[in-house]
Amino acid sequence: MPRISLHKVYSSQATPSLRLQEAHKSYNKYQRRKGKTKKVLHQIQDIQLMDLKVDYAFKQLFGSEKNKEITVVFLNAILTKSGRSPVKQLFFQNIEIGGEYEEDKKSRLDLLIETEDKEIINIEIQINNEYNMVNRALYYWSRIFSEQLKEGQNYKTLYPVISINIMHFDLLKETDAYHNIFRLYEMNQKYPLTDRIEFHFVEIPKLISAWKKNQLNPWEDVLTRWLLLLGTVDRQTNHFYNDIYQELEEIAVADKSLNVAMRVWEDLSRTKEERLAYEARLKQILDERSKLLDREQLEQEMEEIRAQKKVMEMQKEEIEARNQEIETRNQEMEMRNQEIETQNQKMKDKMEEEETKRKAAESALEKSAKQMALRLLEQGVEHSAIMHATGFTAKQLEVIQQALKIDKK
């Protein structure tokens, strides 16, 4: 049976659309201008530009009816990377999706778009990493896909749902590419199951990292310039990438859509009402980020405590193991001592037994010698001969002779 997987079909650093090695005159001009140009073509005076990664600012720029042309260009820059046909017309949809039942949780999407070909595009922009991005994208996709089908309709009426997720954090640790596309593919032979499901994951930090390494060419790649637009302002670090902004200003001289987008961006940043709403949303995001960081720090501290506890438990186990080993050795030594003591006792008993036998033998030998000496004395044998035969001394022989006289009386 074939195995189906959600397979990556595109990586931003592998796409030929970047064409960094092509001998293109405009790219050479772009490189020369990077070193020479010091002047900004359009000066921003007394404006703090909105961070377009804040969902409110993003929706005001790309989710407005009056800016549809900008949205079309931006979407086409993304969708052409997966080989889809260019969008000519789009319709903004209700961004609220409900659950299957009344009590189910409702979700508000950042941007929901339908094209003239009935394709549905959901764009989500996320600054804070809540460590649930993939599951969240899958959930939103499933709700949008299922809500297409009304009661009594055929499954053939289900159209592609494309999920575009733009994040201000690293998501995919397996790659340095900042734009990755996934579809359902057969795992072994790599053929697609359907075009009804497609996920785009754009990681802005990786984009900025590639920019700093001079690996990007926004003059040749349309998507790169639009993503750099999103990365120009970073309110998390309060940083404004002036070099990116200047580069985009130069490109905008020839790119009408980018020029319009930058002017709308500036106007939004100037407008008091828009600014207040943006700042309120930004504060909410930063507060959420602070809570996330606090939670991460708490989790990190808890993890450190768990790690320390684990180390202490391991040390305790090692100490217990060493104590057990010492106890075992002590028991072995005690057993050896007992064995030695037993052997010593056996040797002592044996020596005592042998000593008893020796004494008995000596006593028997002495008795036999005395008897021999007595017989020889009775027979009148000379003392020297008796002493030689029995080994007695003259004094011992005299004692025996006196004992013999006493017995005769």
First-residue to last-residue Cα distance in the chain: 128
* Coil/strand/helix, residue 237: coil
Strand partners, 107: 97
Residue corresponding to tokens 């022989």: 397
Residue 13 structure tokens? 């650093």
Q: What is the pLDDT of residues 7-18, one digit of tens each?
A: 566 666 543 333
Q: Of 136, 131, 40, whose CA–CA distance to 97 is shortest?
A: 136
pLDDT at residue 172, rounded to an integer: 96
Q: Of 114, 107, 159, whose CA–CA distance to 138 is shortest?
A: 107
Strand partners, 200: 164, 181
CA gap 181, 163 in Å, rounded: 10
Q: Give just the sign of the alpha carbon dihedral 290, 203, 62, 163.
A: negative
Angle, to 10 degrees, between the axis of helix 68-79 and the axis of helix 256-270? 120
Tell how strand 120-126 and strand 161-167 pair up: parallel
Average per-residue pLDDT for the chain: 85
- pTM of full prediction above 0.85: no
pLDDT at residue 44, rounded to an integer: 52
Q: Which of 19-33, 86-100, 120-134 has the lowest mean pLDDT?
A: 19-33
Domain positions in the chain: 4-270
By residue count, the chain amounts to 409
- Going by pLDDT thresholds of 50, 70 and 90, the confidence category of residue 104 is very low
